[in-house]
């Protein structure tokens, strides 16, 4: 068997073995779980504005995100968030809770490889790219805006 044939056979084998997510149910689940997480966020935001009417809209959102991040981190520690993730896919990744989960999940998982080289390094395997992309793109936007202001 030459190399190309072998690769072809291997690819066939891989695509037969990959677990297939049923498209329609997973789309539906990601939709309603994602929507629900956003509604919980809106509820937290409304409660904060109800109890502390003096704070600005901007800080109310910051508080809301901190609460959501706390909840997601806690649920990740309990092992609940990963179960939601298996069920909802994109519905649990795209909200800010997914960002929180992407940091706390490896923190819990790699603790036994050491605090520094296990936990602290692995915490940023997914969050690292997000923060790098955020900083780079915001500097670019800031620079363009600065030129427009001159």
Partner 1 sequence: MMFLDYLWVFLVGGTICMIGEILIIATNITSARILVLFELTGVFLEAIGVFSFVSDFAKAGINVPIVGFGASLARGVIGAVKTNGLLGIFSGGLMATAAGISAAVFFAYIFGLIFKAKTK
Handedness of CA 108, 114, 116, 121 (dihedral sign): negative
Q: What is the dihedral of CA 124, 129, 132, 138, to 10 degrees?
A: -130
Among 10, 78, 86, 114, binds partner 1 (CB under 8 A): 78
Closer CB to partner 1, 1 or 14, in the complex:
14
**Do the beta carbons of residue 135 and residue 141 sit within 8 Å?**
no
| Closer to partner 1 by Cβ: residue 1 or 16 | 16
Closest distance to partner 1 from the beta carbon of 25 (Å): 11
Find the shortest distance in angstroms from Cβ 8 to partner 1: 19
Draw the binding track, 33-72, toward partner 1 (x: CB under 8 A; -: no contact): xxxxxxx-xx--x---------------xx-xxx-xxx--
41 alpha carbon, distance to own chain's centre = 15
Q: How far is the CB of 13 from partner 1 (least distance, A)?
A: 17
Q: Which of 5, 16, 112, 116 binds partner 1 (CB under 8 A)?
A: 112
Residue 79 near partner 1 by CB under 8 A: yes
Q: Segment 90-109, which members bind partner 1 (CB under 8 A)?
A: 90-91, 93-100, 102-104, 107-109
In our burial notation (b when 16+ CB lie closer than 10 A, e otherwise), range 5-23 reads: eeeeeeeeeeeeeeeeeee
127 touching partner 1, by CB under 8 A: yes
Cα 59 from Cα 132, distance rounded (Å):
24
Question: Which one of 9, 27, 52, 117 is in contact with partner 1 (CB under 8 A)?
Answer: 27
């Amino acid at each position: 068997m030459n190399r190309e044939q072998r690769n072809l056979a291997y690819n066939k084998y891989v695509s037969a073995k990959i677990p297939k997510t049923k498209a329609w149910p997973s789309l539906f689940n990601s939709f309603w779980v994602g929507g629900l997480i956003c509604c919980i966020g809106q509820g937290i935001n409304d409660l904060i504005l109800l109890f502390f009417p003096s704070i600005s809209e901007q800080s109310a959102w910051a508080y809301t995100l901190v609460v959501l991040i706390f909840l997601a981190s806690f649920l990740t520690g309990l092992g609940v968030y990963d179960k939601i993730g298996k069920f909802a896919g994109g519905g649990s990744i795209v909200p800010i809770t997914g960002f929180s989960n992407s940091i706390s999940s490896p923190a819990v998982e790699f603790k036994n490889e050491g605090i520094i080289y296990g936990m602290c390094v692995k915490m940023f395997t997914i969050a690292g790219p997000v923060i790098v992309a955020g900083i780079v793109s915001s500097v670019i936007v800031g620079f363009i805006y600065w030129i427009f202001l001159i």
